[in-house]
Amino acid sequence: MLTPIKTPLVAKKLFQNYIWDISTTDKVIYLTFDDGPTPKITNWTMDVLKQYNAKATFFCIGDNIEKHPDIFYTILKNGHAIGNHTQHHIKGWKTKTKDYLENIAEAQEVILSQNTHSQISKTTNLFRPPYGQITPKQGKRLMGLGYKIIMWDVLSFDWDNNVSQENCLENVLTKTTKGSIIVFHDSVKASKNMQYTLPKVLEHFAGKGFSFEALNFN
């Protein structure tokens, strides 16, 4: 496993203009879900979150929003935050800056076009690069456009078929601290590990007095 579960401090300092965690002394955790909305899985995720009065941030793929606008609207209606995850889940390192920005802009138009019920989250300036791949030039341009680039403090590795359900859970339980931004995926690929891990993470940290909040920088 080349990518660390817990983001090293050196990486956070090297790319300090990106948001890796939230500095706080409060018992707060920031759950995030990438790659949706996905039929059944996203709704299941929201149902589990609701049991713990938990809010989260969903980094949505524009193409998936267009396919499943009803699920997207439910995310908004339930009070979760929305982030941009590009229109087609493209890799920044393999994409020209102009094309990358255009793909993000396309997704942003889709997000804003769904604001038919005035339920859109105020936090529409969040962006997470698929695969965590973004060049310095791309990042600079996006921040110049007002985006907050959201990375992570803890990776669950729920998408990795080589990671067992038990290890996925251990990744989160042992590495999460106050203010951690945790990455899950509401996708088919990650569903086995995510659906095993999420309820146990919520139960564990709720039992320790933690709350779960959506990201908001407004």
The answer to whether residue 58 is domain-embedded is: yes
Hey, CA dihedral for 97, 36, 71, 48, is it positive or negative? Answer: negative
Examine the pLDDT at 123 and tell me if it is beyond 90: no
CATH number of the domain where residue 19 is located = 3.20.20.370
Average per-residue pLDDT in the chain?
A: 94
The answer to whether residue 1 is domain-embedded is: no
Report the interhelical angle of 97-113 vs 136-144 (nearest 10°): 40
The answer to whether residue 2 is domain-embedded is: no
* pTM metric for this prediction: 0.95
Per-residue confidence at 119, pLDDT binned at 50, 70, 90?
Answer: low
The answer to whether residue 4 is domain-embedded is: no
Please list the active-site residues: 34, 185
The answer to whether residue 107 is domain-embedded is: yes
The answer to whether residue 3 is domain-embedded is: no
Examine the pLDDT at 82 and tell me if it is beyond 80: yes
- What sections of the chain are H helices per DSSP? 9-14, 41-51, 62-67, 69-77, 97-113, 136-144, 165-175, 191-207
The answer to whether residue 182 is domain-embedded is: yes
Q: What are phi and psi of 67, to 5 degrees?
A: -75, -30
Counted domains in the chain: 1
Residue span of the structural domain in which 109 resides: 9-212
